[in-house]
Amino acid sequence: MDTRENTAHADVLVIGFGKGGKTVAAKMGRLGRRVILVEQSNRMYGGTCPNIGCVPTKALVHHAGKPRMSDSPQEHYEHAVREVQALTSTFRAGNFDSLNSADNVTVVTGHAAFIDPHTVGVTAGGDRLTITAETILINTGAEPIIPDIPGLRASKRTLTSTDLIQTTTLPERLTILGGGYQGVEFASIYRRFGSQVTVFEAAARILGREDDEAAAVVADILRNEGVEIITGARVTEVRDRDAVTIVTYEKDGREHTLETDAVLAASGRAPVTRGLGLDAAGVRTTERGAIEVDEHLRTSRPHIYALGDVRGGRQHTYLSLDDSRIVLDQLIGEGRRSTADRVAIPHTVFMTPPLAAVGLTEKEAREAGHRVKIASEAVADIVAMPRAYIVEETRGLMKFVIDADTDEILGAVLLSVDAQELINTVALAMRHGVKAAELRDAVYTHPTSTEAFNEVLGTIVRSDART
């Protein structure tokens, strides 16, 4: 569409090119509905995942594990970034073409802001387009958070995850602020590329939301690879000084300093709602700045929906995809599907080896009142997992939390080769009530990682009767 037009009308207007929004747009277009999708950046067609999230970071994981023997670390890294940029460009172009060439769907590039509950203004340079729509979907995603640490935002060496994966210069010394999922993943990637990596975490341990035992093994793996992890530390200042940046932190009541070449702010991501004019639409937000939605993803305005990271909660592309199913069920289905249907949703941290988990941790299960039994084994000790030895990756552990009374799988954490795939099998079993004994006695192909379940689930290492 030529954005010099003054007005346009759509049956469905989608603000943001994320997974959920683009899926709804494509489906509604195929059904003959007039759809307009607005994306403010031509670098973000397809959303976070293919451009600055899942695809480029996981591609870097792959390249980091395949060093080019003839190259220096800098040459290897620069080559990897170029390869990843080519990949994301292909994905971006494919996403744009798949929608913009579809019948009844138009992609408009510009910044969108509500004028009233049914009207959105889109600006692009000196052009302005006013769009009215019966149904509006907000799918603007999330953006990196830079903590309010003196000097951090002013430092020319402060980077977000988006900045870091786009630079072709490998930091000789990389300091990561945050020992959560993002911090751990980037620590693993950049250490394997050759950076000297230091991770600061204010809590007593990294990966505070994960199982205690698994988090400890993760810390051991990273430290053995040369990552310095400083827990219980509060960063108080970041200052540029000549060719380096000085990070000042407090630990155990004493002040320390560290010189670095780059600082990654890995403190999570916040919903992108600034500049959307939500007040004009009467759309409410939560205390954390996310758009407030009900179980059907309707906002405070019933014809306006919020999908993906912008609605708050766990930030996963696959949940954004499921959001599209919920919204489509509202628009063209029976209206029964909701977020309450989600059970046993897994997640993965793509360090090496990957860490994947689903359900309750051991601590959470006990606190919920379950009598539990624990099946746990170090990967190096799992005889029934020859694949780990075949690919020379025997680090990690597998751990299951099982209800002692019902044999129900309450949760699992897998830190192993292929964990990102294995966890989906466990999650599916949990959703359909497959008991631990059934998963233990299933027939799996050989030699695979899945057959480790035959052994691990047959080894109950702890059991109690606490409630």
- Rounded CA-CA distance 260/157 in Å is 9
The answer to whether the CB of 216 falls within 8 A of the CB of 306 is: no
Residues 6+ apart with CB under 8 A from 182: 161, 266, 268
Could you tell me which residues are beta bridge partners of residue 248?
237, 257
DSSP symbols for 133-188: EEEEEE---EEE-----TTTTT-TTEE-HHHHHH--SPPSEEEEE--SHHHHHHHH
Handedness of CA 384, 387, 392, 398 (dihedral sign): negative
Residues of the binding site for FAD: 58, 309
Active site residues: 446
Handedness of CA 350, 354, 360, 364 (dihedral sign): negative
Cβ atoms < 10 Å from Cβ of 402: 26
Residues 6+ apart with CB under 8 A from 357: 210, 211, 214, 346, 347, 411, 412, 413, 414, 423
Q: Residue 15 CA to chain centroid, in angstroms?
A: 21
CA terminus-to-terminus distance, the chain: 62
The answer to whether the CB of 307 falls within 8 A of the CB of 299 is: no
DSSP symbols for 346-393: -EEE-SSS-EEEEE--HHHHHHTT--EEEEEEEGGG-TT-HHHHHTT-
DSSP symbols for 260-273: ESEEEE-S-EEE--
Residues of the binding site: 58, 178-185, 201, 268, 309
- Rounded CA-CA distance 441/286 in Å is 46
The answer to whether the CB of 237 falls within 8 A of the CB of 150 is: yes
Residues of the binding site for NAD(+): 178-185, 201, 268
Q: Is 113 exposed, middle or buried (0-12, 13-18, 19+ CB in 10 A)?
A: middle
Query: How many residues appear in the chain?
Result: 467
Interior angle at CA 91, CA 90 and CA 92, nearest 5: 90
